[in-house]
């Protein structure tokens, strides 16, 4: 590959640099710094009251808890789905593969009302859960279902390439050494997929923390019970409490930045580690 320096024969360096930086600043950097400044430039007592009052604390617990459970469910089933899609040939495989992308493409409000219709008392799923005493819609379980829905593609699409890249020699060696298929899966293949699985889990978790559209219909939005952090921001804005909204928003933004930064560091570390191992 040819490395170009600034004195390249190709024109447009100044123009594209200027345009890119101005547009980036106007659309992304200035608005995000407005949040940082508005959130951080308030007395600590005011900040902590916005972020740690009982109602907000309940929302944090609910948001992090449901996101964690949903991502765990997705890590388990997402691994199975990714493995199935890569390794097995069966009728409908391509349709199954295409369905994984639906939560990416379907507007969140549409997923939200559809999930609510299905899991409310007389919905397709709700009517079976109701006699079992399980209340899905308008409860934390409903939030878990919505977050599982939106999180699945993140896990499957992260694990799928890792399954494709598995070195067949390792599986061969395991079987030559007399390991049963189950042992090979557990002791050889699962550890090899672990970095991708963790990366997918954290990405799905980070995305779930800020999810709004698919959750607010099914959650019922009862303060202290089924109110997520994103909704609290909206509520504070409706009351013109900009500082409070900015405080919660800033904390959410930092959480997701830290999580996604960890994913990048982890991926960088594991590729380096793998390269050294081979």
Partner 1 sequence: MSHHRHTEPIWMRTLFIGASVVFVGLLILLPVISVFTEAFRKGFGFYLTSISDPLAMSALRLTLIAAAITLAANLVFGLAASWLIAKFSFPGRNLLLSLIDLPFAVSPVISGLVFVLLFGAQGWFGGPLYNHGIQIIFATPGVVLATIFVTFPFIARELIPLMQEQGADEEEAAVLLGANGWQTFRRVTLPNIRWALVYGVVLANARAMGEFGAVSVVSGHIRGRTNTLPLHVEILYNEYNFSAAFAVASLLALLALVTLVAKAALEWRIRAEQRPAGMDQGAMEEVA
Site for partner 1 in 160-199 (CB under 8 A): 168, 171-172, 174-175, 181-182, 184-185
Provide the mask over 80-99, with x wherever binding to partner 1 is found by CB under 8 A and - wherever it is not.
Answer: xx-xxx-xxxx-x---x-xx
Q: Considering the rule CB under 8 A, would residue 44 count as an interface residue with partner 1?
A: no
CA distance 133 to 120: 13
Residues 123-162 that bind partner 1 (CB under 8 A): 123-125, 145, 148-149, 152
Angle between helices 140-164 and 190-209 (to 10 degrees): 140
Binding-site size, partner 1 (CB under 8 A): 97
User: Closer CB to partner 1, residue 184 or residue 196?
Assistant: 184
Q: Which of 68, 72, 108, 157 binds partner 1 (CB under 8 A)?
A: 108
C-beta neighbour count of 17 within 10 angstroms: 11
Give the shortest CB-277-to-partner 1 separation in angstroms: 21
Taking contact as CB under 8 A, which single stretch among the options 45-53, 54-62, 237-245, 266-274 is the one that binds partner 1?
237-245
Residues 54-73 that bind partner 1 (CB under 8 A): none
Q: Which of 67, 75, 100, 155 binds partner 1 (CB under 8 A)?
A: 100
Give the shortest CB-27-to-partner 1 separation in angstroms: 6
Taking contact as CB under 8 A, which single stretch among the options 130-138, 193-201, 246-254, 267-275 is the one that binds partner 1?
246-254
Give the shortest CB-132-to-partner 1 separation in angstroms: 16
Tokens 């209340």 map to which residue?
A: 135
Taking contact as CB under 8 A, which single stretch among the options 40-48, 51-59, 130-138, 233-241 is the one that binds partner 1?
233-241
Question: Taken in order 62, 63, 68, 73, is the CA torsion positive or negative?
Answer: positive
Q: Considering the rule CB under 8 A, would residue 219 count as an interface residue with partner 1?
A: no
Q: Which residue blocks in the chain are alpha helix, DSSP H? A: 13-24, 30-40, 44-52, 54-87, 93-99, 102-105, 108-119, 126-129, 140-164, 168-176, 181-184, 190-209, 213-219, 229-238, 242-277
Give the shortest CB-145-to-partner 1 separation in angstroms: 8
Burial (CB count within 10 angstroms: exposed 0-12, middle 13-18, buried 19+), residue 196: buried
Burial (CB count within 10 angstroms: exposed 0-12, middle 13-18, buried 19+), residue 136: buried
Give the shortest CB-123-to-partner 1 separation in angstroms: 8
Give the shortest CB-274-to-partner 1 separation in angstroms: 21
CA distance 84 to 156: 10
Taking contact as CB under 8 A, which single stretch among the options 17-25, 43-51, 53-61, 130-138 is the one that binds partner 1?
17-25
User: At a CB cut-off of 8 Å and minimum separation 6, what does 256 contact?
Assistant: 206, 207, 209, 210
User: At a CB cut-off of 8 Å and minimum separation 6, what does 158 contact?
Assistant: 196, 197, 199, 200, 203
């Amino acid at each position: 590959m040819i490395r170009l320096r600034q004195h390249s024969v190709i024109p447009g360096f100044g123009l594209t640099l200027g345009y890119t930086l101005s547009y980036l600043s106007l659309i992304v950097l200035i608005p995000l710094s407005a949040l940082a400044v508005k959130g951080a430039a308030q007395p600590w007592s005011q900040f902590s009251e916005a972020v740690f009052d009982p109602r907000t604390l309940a929302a944090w617990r609910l948001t992090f808890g449901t996101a964690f459970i949903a991502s765990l469910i997705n890590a388990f089933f997402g691994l199975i789905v990714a493995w199935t899609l890569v390794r097995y040939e069966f009728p409908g495989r391509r349709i199954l593969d295409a369905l994984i992308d639906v939560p990416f493409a379907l507007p969140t409000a549409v997923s939200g009302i559809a999930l609510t219709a299905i899991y409310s008392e007389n919905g397709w799923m709700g009517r079976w859960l109701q006699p079992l005493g399980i209340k899905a819609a308008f409860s934390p379980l409903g939030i878990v279902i919505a977050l599982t829905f939106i999180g699945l593609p993140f896990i499957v699409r992260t694990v799928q390439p890792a399954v494709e890249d598995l070195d067949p020699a390792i599986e061969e060696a395991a079987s030559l050494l007399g390991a049963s298929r189950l042992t090979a899966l557990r002791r050889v293949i699962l550890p090899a997929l672990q970095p991708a699985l963790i990366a997918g889990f954290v990405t799905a978790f980070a995305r779930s923390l800020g999810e709004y559209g698919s959750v607010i219909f099914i959650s019922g939005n009862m303060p202290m019970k089924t109110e997520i952090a994103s909704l609290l921001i909206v509520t504070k804005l409706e009351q013109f409490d900009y500082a409070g909204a900015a405080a919660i928003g800033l904390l959410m933004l930092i959480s997701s930045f830290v999580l996604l930064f960890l994913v990048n560091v982890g991926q960088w570390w594991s590729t380096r580690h793998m390269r050294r191992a081979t």
